[in-house]
Amino acid sequence: MTAPRVEIDLDKIRYNTQHLVHRLDLHDISVTAVTKAVCGCPDIAKAMLEGGAIGLADTHVENVDRMRAADIQHPICLIRTPMLSQADCIPPICDASYNTELDVIHALGQSALRANKVHGVILMVELGDQREGILPDDLSAFALKVMEIPGISLNGIGANFACLSGIAPEQQAITRLSDLASAIEEQSGLPLKIVSGGNSANLPLIFSGAHSGRINNLRLGEAILLGVDPVSEIPIEGLFTDAFNIVAEVIESRFTARRCEAPAIAPVSQHNQIVCIHDHTRRAIVAIGRQDTDIEGLSLPSRLTLIGATSDHLIVGTPYAPLAVGSEISFQPNYSALMRVMAAPNVEKVTRDRRHAGRGKSAENAHPNQERRAFIDAQAL
């Protein structure tokens, strides 16, 4: 197999989706699975749908194209406010999109009419993340205008939390979103199908028994893919945290005989965590770098220390045992490392799917929430 590569366990992704779908179903909340971090990888999207997600969501039209080309027929929603310049190509492939600008919604309506479709719109309301959103006080009037636009159907409202601000949502925000939904319905006399309460950062609040109010949908990416809460990075009970492994190959392995003083860090290398190496420390170079992933987002095997990285080299200290040239090392990515590596063209993506292969132990029988662990390939020791 080629290196570097990402090994993707589809059984674990399917299991994580299923687990979240079941738990949220108890609160009458459906799951829309978010595929942006994996560039709309069709195999992963299919595993999420098999796990019970009602539909998919992505931020990039190109990713949606990739999923449609792989014959995925389920509803797909664009969750980044569409670019005006792309309005034409969205209604033909997306059932709905999240919006905050009237000009864009008008353009989407025109495009939908030309495609002989009705395009669904979910209005994003700003409730504290300070990223996208219509201000709460303007929402009802905005919604009434959207309802008048030909080719458009107002499907609902949504909010987003913790992405820009890093602040988890609180009960107050959920209640506010619910009240806004009710106010729009009262003024328009029409029911809203979707009240989408947020992303993976909402899960701790919902699972702690908070009132979910009118919320009937969440858009989940990180919790499904990595099994963690994005705000704390703490594993969510019952989920696999090791569905993804990045594997890279050792290309140099040496003793550093001389003491190496840590150089004064120039601005360009501020991110290279240069550490002072003691006499006779072994180090190895691994063929992966900043162009491939977010190096600081990798968890290293415990026997290795991070010395630094450049665009295409990762240098690790190997104090316990040398790493053989040609051996492979596995790393577990956090969200930032995952999204970068999935977008890197020179990193191969390898999926494992025991359910569809019909052999081997299924992930359902394995134990989720094993300690986040990275391992050194046996031959590397």
Which residues form the interface with ligand PLP (CB under 6 A)? Answer: 34, 36, 59, 79, 160, 199-201, 219-223, 230
Cβ proximity of 157 and 177 under 8 Å? yes
Q: Which is nearer to ligand PLP, 77 or 146 (CB)?
A: 77
φ, ψ for residue 193 (rounded to 5)?
A: -70, -40
Find the shortest distance in angstroms from Cβ 49 to ligand PLP.
Answer: 16
* Secondary structure string (H, E, C) spanning 122-137: EEEECCCCCCCCECHH
Find the shortest distance in angstroms from Cβ 245 to ligand PLP.
Answer: 19
Q: Which is nearer to ligand PLP, 34 or 134 (CB)?
A: 34
Find the shortest distance in angstroms from Cβ 134 to ligand PLP.
Answer: 14
124 residue type, one letter: M
**Distance separating alpha carbons of residues 41 and 23, to the nearest angstrom:** 25
DSSP code per residue over 231-243: TT-PBPTT--S-S
Find the shortest distance in angstroms from Cβ 206 to ligand PLP.
Answer: 13
Find the shortest distance in angstroms from Cβ 79 to ligand PLP.
Answer: 4
Residues 6+ apart with CB under 8 A from 116: none
**Distance separating alpha carbons of residues 292 and 371, to the nearest angstrom:** 25
Cβ proximity of 312 and 291 under 8 Å? yes
Q: Which is nearer to ligand PLP, 80 or 356 (CB)?
A: 80
Between the alpha carbon of residue 290 and those of residues 8, 71, 230, the distances in Å are 21, 33, 22
Find the shortest distance in angstroms from Cβ 221 to ligand PLP.
Answer: 3
Give kind and range of the element (H or E) at residue 284: strand 281-286
Q: Which is nearer to ligand PLP, 206 or 300 (CB)?
A: 206
Give kind and range of the element (H or E) at residue 175: helix 171-188
Q: Which is nearer to ligand PLP, 20 or 315 (CB)?
A: 20
**Distance separating alpha carbons of residues 186 and 193, to the nearest angstrom:** 14
Q: Which is nearer to ligand PLP, 53 or 154 (CB)?
A: 53
Query: Nearest-CB residue to ligand PLP?
Result: 221
Q: Which is nearer to ligand PLP, 79 or 134 (CB)?
A: 79
Find the shortest distance in angstroms from Cβ 29 to ligand PLP.
Answer: 13
As a whole number of Å, the CA-based R_g of the chain is 23
Q: How many Cβ atoms are within 10 Å of 164's Cβ, its own excluded?
A: 12
